[in-house]
Structure 1
Amino acid sequence: MNLKKLFFVLGLLFCFQAVSAQAYMVLRKKGTTRRYEYRVGNYIVYKQKGESDFFTDRITDFADSTVVLENNIITLDQIEVVNVSNAFSNRSPLLRSAEDVLPVAGYGLLAIDLFNNSVIEGNPFTFDTGTTATSAALVLTGYSLKWMRRKKVDLTNPKFEAFIIGSF
């Protein structure tokens, strides 16, 4: 009985020998907790040093300080700017969802008030000042949250750093 357990455990070890921690790339501003992560399979939008255009490519692997992409192999030193608007971030989920939900809520409130005022109550087609101000505040808050979010990380700036975490 103990021999069966031993062979079972050894079989599991041989089967899962190739399983290891997944490597990922981290972009962050030094001295802060905000970070942007890229894993294998994610798309990255970057600009290489000496180039004027941004390139979009899928990450296939990481090595020491090298990012292996579908159509390119680059080191972290060759990356000048990274567009982080679609990267995974440790930003608050409340802020991430608020920049999408608040404008929709503002437009929806205005539409519901117009429908209620003109169709249900039979009044002429007019905007209520209180509802218009409230919906404008919701829309402007949502769009300002989206506008204030960082969209690009300039790695030539010494305040920012990029590194790869994981086993190789």
Structure 2
Amino acid sequence: MKAKWPFFVLCLLFVSEAAFSQTYMVVRKKGSMRKFEYFEGSTIVYKQKGQEVFFTDRITEFADSTLVLENNILHTSQITEIDVRGAESNRSKFLRASETLLPTAGIGLMAIDLFNHTVVDGQSFSLDRSTTTTAAILVATGYTMKLARRKKVDLTNPKFEVYIVGLK
């Protein structure tokens, strides 16, 4: 009899977890695996139809195809452009980290080489050509990755779609 109570409590816990789902908004390019997700409480930067400037607001709730924001209520069809730099993405963590680490490694490599030439070897202030080339390639690669990343999604383009997932 005592063994049934923990089993019963665990079953109730699993059933209650399955009954609730988290609601979030997905912005993606049709046919692509890359997606940007916005959850309740996250900040969204968007451009509304008929407006020329971007607005920043916090999402408080999702209802059907409507975003309830702190200062506005929008239907998803009223949004023309979204700045996706602050969104959750399924982009590889390795690529995200590489944008920052590659330039840092390049600058660090130049600093170590400069220190090695001047302090350790006792030579005059000089940089090794091959080390400088390698450091420049690391820095350029990191900043190119940052520039190539998508920053805004134009929802007036039919290639992109926005929808809300997990409504209760």
Structure 2 length-normalised TM: 0.90
Q: Does 1:109 align with 2:88?
A: no
Structure 1 residue 111: Cα displacement: 0.7
- Which amino acid is the alignment partner of residue 63 of structure 2? A
Q: Does 1:56 align with 2:56?
A: yes
Matches within 5 A, 1:97-136: 97-136=97-136
Distance 2:112 2:148 in 1: 29
Distance 1:23 1:145 in 2: 31
Q: For the Cα contact (< 8 Å) 1:20–1:167, is it kept in 2?
A: no
In percent, how many aligned pairs have the same letter?
A: 59
Distance 2:81 2:89 in 1: 17
Matches within 5 A, 1:18-37: 20-37=20-37
Structure 1 residue 41: Cα displacement: 1.0
What are structure 2's unaligned runs of at least 5 residues? none
What are structure 1's unaligned runs of at least 5 residues? none
* Equivalent residues, number: 165
Distance 1:155 1:77 in 2: 9
Structure 1 residue 63: Cα displacement: 0.6
- Which amino acid is the alignment partner of residue 122 of structure 1? G
- Which amino acid is the alignment partner of residue 93 of structure 1? K
Residue 60 of structure 2: SS of its match in structure 1? strand
- Which amino acid is the alignment partner of residue 119 of structure 2? V
Structure 1 residue 5: Cα displacement: 3.6
Structure 1 residue 60: Cα displacement: 0.7
Structure 1 residue 92: Cα displacement: 1.2
| 1:15-54, Cα deviation, whole Å (9 max, x unpaired) | x59x610100000000111100000111111010111111
Structure 1 length-normalised TM: 0.90
Distance 1:131 1:5 in 2: 68
Indicate the residue corresponding to 1:74 in structure 2.
74
Indicate the residue corresponding to 1:143 in structure 2.
143
Q: For the Cα contact (< 8 Å) 2:81–2:155, is it kept in 1?
A: yes
Q: For the Cα contact (< 8 Å) 2:36–2:88, is it kept in 1?
A: yes
| 1:101-127, Cα deviation, whole Å (9 max, x unpaired) | 000000000011111111121111011
